[in-house]
Structure 1
Amino acid sequence: MPDIHVSAAVIVDADDRVLVVRKQGTTRFMQPGGKPEAGETPAQTLIRELHEELGLVLTERDLRPLGRFVSAAANEPGHRVIADAFAVTFAHAEVVVQAELAELRWITPEDAATLPLAPLSVEHLLPLAWASRTR
């Protein structure tokens, strides 16, 4: 099965909602991020992608590595995605749909039950985001 390498951001707001995005021409929501350009580290890829897709300006200090995760690719049948995931923190920012994104949503676990989500999000990243919920 061919592999697709990506970097992905797990962004949680003050209300314990997680940011997911949907790219144009697709139906599934996923964590923001994307594929590396030649010579980029996973962190550099994520910083560039979050700037292109959401208008965020971040540095490597804003990223906390969460690990590498493998799932079936959401939009490329017969492929698997290998994602370097990072928790992303920033003081305050307005995220805006840009580049190839069609929409974004801040979701709760209840929303996740009814939203078409990428396997990587369902299997790994959303459970990780909500694992430390304090309620």
Structure 2
Amino acid sequence: MADGRVRQLIDTVAWVRIEEGRILCARPRGKGVFYIPGGKREGADTDLQTLLREIEEELTVALLPETAAHVGTYEAVHGPTDGALVRMSCYTADYRGTLAASSEIEEVAWFSYADRALVPPVDQLLFDDLVHAGLLR
């Protein structure tokens, strides 16, 4: 990244679930960092198709597609040396089922704004918007 060019675009979709001023985050198995739940788009999948698939895979719940609403799209360089740009399209949605970590997820947690440093740069942009909107404590 020394030359300032982005070497790769990582296109993701994320589920913004806020309860009592805290946002749901998940830590994948084998990783040391928490993320907003979601994942990478596959092929020509729409945001909604990606969101429904990834959340069911990660958290064992079914999102209700008719309740999905776009919150915002954020972009940030993933790390200081790899040059990957992460684009994260964020949606809220109601769900059916019981939230639980799947085999892909090591741990789920409810974060407040004080936990902002524990998530990647693109997630931090979402945290900033949510706290300014009064949705995140």
Identity, % of aligned positions: 26
Q: Pick from 9, 17, 41: which aligns with 1:11?
A: 17
Kindly report the root-mean-square deviation, in angstroms, between the aligned alpha carbons of the 2 structures.
2.2
In structure 1, the residue matched to 2:123 is 121
The structure with the largest strand share of the pair is 2
Q: 1:59 to 1:119 in 2, by over 3 A?
A: same
Matched, 1:58 2:63: yes
Closer/same/farther in 2, CA of residues 95 and 77 from structure 1, 3 Å limit: farther
Structure 1 residues 99 and 73: CA distance shift in structure 2, 3 A: farther
- Which structure has the larger Rg over C-alpha atoms? 2
TM-fit CA distance, 1:86 = 0.7
The one-letter amino acid of 1:121's match is: D
3-state SS of 1:80 partner: strand
Q: Whole-Å Cα distance in 2 between the matches of residues 109 and 84 of structure 1?
A: 20
Three-state SS of the structure 2 residue aligned to 1:50 is helix
TM-score, reference length from structure 1? 0.83
CA deviations over 1:49-86 (Å, ceiling 9, x no partner): 00000011123212110222101226x93211011111
What are structure 1's unaligned runs of at least 5 residues?
none
TM-score (norm 2): 0.82
User: Which letter maps to 1:116?
Assistant: L
2:54 equivalent in structure 1: 49
Is the partner of 1:37 in helix, strand or coil?
coil
Say whether the 8 Å CA contact 1:10–1:129 is kept in structure 2: no
Instruction: Give aligned pairs, total.
Output: 129
Instruction: Give the 3-state SS of the residue equivalent to 1:61 in structure 2.
Output: helix
